[in-house]
């Protein structure tokens, strides 16, 4: 994986979403649709946090 300078760049990276998806799938607690919703919500929430912090 590449080196990133900010959390925003990590969140924007498509590989991050894929890795989160695989991780939650392996946990086996949710179906694919629920996993996708949780990941999308998580990334949106963290992007807002970055924006509020001025990153």
- Cβ contact 7:48 at 8 Å: no
pLDDT interval class at 4 (50, 70, 90): low
Q: Which pLDDT value is given to residue 40?
A: 93
Residue-wise pLDDT for 17-48, tens only, equals 999 999 988 888 778 898 899 999 999 999 99
Cα-atom radius of gyration of the chain, to the nearest Å? 12
Q: What is the dihedral of CA 24, 51, 2, 36, to 10 degrees?
A: 20
**pTM metric for this prediction:** 0.77
In this prediction, residue 3 has a pLDDT band, given cuts at 50, 70 and 90, of low
Average pLDDT over residues 4-27: 88
């Amino acid at each position: 994986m590449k080196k990133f300078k900010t959390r925003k760049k990590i969140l924007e990276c498509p590989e991050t979403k894929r890795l989160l998806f695989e991780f939650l799938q392996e946990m086996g607690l949710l179906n694919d649709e629920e996993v996708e919703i949780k990941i999308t919500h998580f990334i949106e929430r963290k992007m807002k946090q970055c924006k509020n912090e001025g990153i």
